[in-house]
Amino acid sequence: MSCYNRRDLGLLLLRLGTGGVLAAHGAQKLFGWFGGHGIEGTGQFMESVGYAPGRASATAAGLAETGGGALLALGLATPAAGAAAAGAMAGAAAVHVPNGFFAQEGGYEYAATLGLAAAGLAVAGPGRLSLDHAVGHVFDRGWMVPAALGVTAAVTAAVVGARNCRVRRAAEEAAGRQGTLFEE
């Protein structure tokens, strides 16, 4: 008989809560569930905030959130699941940074909290009440944590960097058009 400790129960609660919220959030993007806008609507939004192409960006974000969240909740492939979800939340946080920290002002608080929880679970591991433990941690090896987080960090930095360049360029073009209106 196996005895589960507080750490295992705590990790289970964190995985179920964080993973469930992320999976639902991603399902809004992918399927339009829970009041979401689906791929088309989310793609249009993604394009409007600088992630291009919008449909591909919506699909990638939706898959990272839905898949990463579901896998975190199950405790399966925890390093990759946590890294994918954290990367998606870093991309979301980039959109909200200009609004400050707190969510009620449109800030990045919510995205940062989910992303940090997902990254923390990737590092801490799933605990014994998980599918990773049940299958002998074949998808949860020590080397997978830095590999998953490193690859995700590099891809996220490239995607967010390209988005920031597009947003900056659009702002400069808008300012240039505004200047010509005043000159006429």
Residue 67 contacts residue 85 (beta carbons within 8 Å): no
pTM: 0.91
Q: How far, in Å, are 25, 65, 110, 142 from residue 96 at the CA level?
A: 16, 17, 10, 33
Q: pLDDT tens digits, the chain, 184 residues: what are they? A: 467 799 999 999 999 999 999 999 999 999 999 999 999 999 999 999 999 999 999 999 999 999 999 999 999 999 999 999 999 999 999 999 999 999 999 999 999 999 999 999 999 999 999 999 999 999 999 999 999 999 999 999 999 999 999 999 998 988 887 766 555 5
Question: In 3D, which of 62, 64, 85 has the Cα closest to residue 14?
Answer: 85
